[in-house]
Amino acid sequence: MRILGIETSCDETGVAIYDDEKGLLAHQLYSQVKLHADYGGVVPELASRDHVKKTIPLIKATLTEAGLTPKDLDGIAYTAGPGLAGALIVGASIGRSLAYAWNVPAVAIHHMEGHLLSPMLEEIQPPVPFISLLVTGGHTLLIEVKSMGEYVILGESIDDAVGEAFDKTANLMGFDYPGGSMLSKLAERGNSKRFTFPRPMTDRPSLDFSFSGLKTFTANTIAVNDKDEQTRADIARAFEDAVVDTLMIKCKLALKQRSMKRLVVAGGVGANRHLRVKLEQLTASIGGEVYYPRAEFCTDNGAMIAYAGMQRLKNGEHNDLEIEVFPRWPIDQLTAIKT
């Protein structure tokens, strides 16, 4: 069985083909980062228009890369939410229409389930159940994965998502959007002893997060200190330390509360090196394990949508001819995938 996956929920056009026997056959990604850089964030209308231009050529390129034709496909999966409505409609319309033309089933995929299942694209896959930390530009979620498709939200951000906090703080330090990974690079040269930033909401049993205060704390620190390169690096380091520590403390609490030892991390911020080191130390200290997708599958991609689509289509799910998207779609509304 071979599934074509299409991702267009935000500022990346991603297309991939997943085969249930051979694994990932091909994947292509086009990032709109340059298009939005001057605006300091994603401009929804520009994002939609660019997906219109890029999706079909990327599907062609992915088929060529895999050495396949549309006749070799058994289904199409597309991201139907959460995300930007216009951007989602592009992928959903193209995915749904091609499935009709090619006479194969189409299935609407939840973007965060794609991220959650992305570590399954790797050779060593985490066995369920596990705790999942999803850290992207739009969401921060701690989830108990009871079985495939059966998700319980243990905690989430009450304001900025982690990636958003990284990007806004990076912007304060003069980096273009999205500056999360640049801020992290700058932090590598910083002295972790110079500034200590708060670890928000870690003084209580709640598993929710709040990161907007940290951004303000950073802005205030920038305002009252010199602007030299070392000070910038020290502030970036203090910010990253505070975020990584906060995520680690909440993961530790979630694992303890749910009596689990297995942690899975996914989403763009999951590419952060310092976070990976910290979570490896945490799981090693409790005799557990942590799993990640490779860095390129932490950020948005078509492979995770093709993989999730494969699971849902095999489960007998598919959508009818109506083209529908869900810009807000809680992940705990999904149904279990029978194995």
Binding site members for substrate: 167, 180, 272
| Contacts for 222 with CB less than 8 Å, ≥ 6 apart | 172, 173, 235
Q: Which of residues 278-317 bind Zn ion (CB under 5 A)?
A: 300
| Contacts for 307 with CB less than 8 Å, ≥ 6 apart | 5, 18, 24, 114, 117, 118, 120, 121
Q: What is the nearest approach in angstroms of ligand KG4 to the Cβ of residue 206?
A: 23
Instruction: Produce one character per residue of 274-311: b if its CB has 16 or more CB atoms within 10 Å, e if not.
Output: bbbebbeebbeeeeebbbbbeeebbbbbbbbbbbbbbb
Closest C-alpha among 35, 28, 88 to residue 56:
28
Reduced to 3 states, what is the DSSP secondary structure of residue 299? coil
Show the binding pattern over residues 90-129: x = contacts ligand KG4 (CB under 6 A), - = does not. Answer: ----------------------------------------
Stretch that binds ligand KG4, among 63-71, 177-185, 202-210, 221-229 (CB under 6 A): 177-185
Query: In which region does residue 304 sit, left (phi positive, over 0), alpha (psi from -120 to 50) or beta (all else)?
Result: alpha
* Beta-carbon count within 10 A of 53 CB: 12
- Whichever of 91 and 267 has its CB closer to ligand KG4, that residue is 267
Which of Zn ion, ligand KG4, none binds 130 (CB below 5-8 Å, type-dependent)?
none
- Whichever of 55 and 136 has its CB closer to ligand KG4, that residue is 136
Sheet holding 75-81, edge to edge: 23-31, 12-19, 2-7, 75-81, 106-110
Closest C-alpha among 94, 121, 90 to residue 11:
90
Binding-site positions:
111, 115, 167, 180, 272, 300
- Whichever of 126 and 138 has its CB closer to ligand KG4, that residue is 138
Name beta bridge partners: 81.
110
Q: Which residue has the tokens 């992290």?
A: 184
Q: Is 272 in the site for ligand KG4 (CB under 6 A)?
A: yes
Which of Zn ion, ligand KG4, none binds 166 (CB below 5-8 Å, type-dependent)?
ligand KG4
* DSSP codes joined into one string, 115-130: HHHGGGGSSSPPPSSE
Q: Which of residues 229-268 bind ligand KG4 (CB under 6 A)?
A: 267-268
Q: Which of residues 103-162 bind Zn ion (CB under 5 A)?
A: 136
Q: Is 167 in the site for ligand KG4 (CB under 6 A)?
A: yes
Stretch that binds ligand KG4, among 118-126, 162-170, 306-314, 322-330 (CB under 6 A): 162-170
Q: Is 163 in the site for ligand KG4 (CB under 6 A)?
A: yes
Stretch that binds ligand KG4, among 35-43, 174-182, 193-201, 280-288 (CB under 6 A): 174-182
Name beta bridge partners: 79.
109
Q: Which of residues 279-338 bind ligand KG4 (CB under 6 A)?
A: 299-300
What residue ranges bind ligand KG4 (CB under 6 A)? 10, 136-138, 163, 166-167, 178, 180-181, 184, 267-269, 271-272, 299-300
What residue ranges bind Zn ion (CB under 5 A)? 136, 300
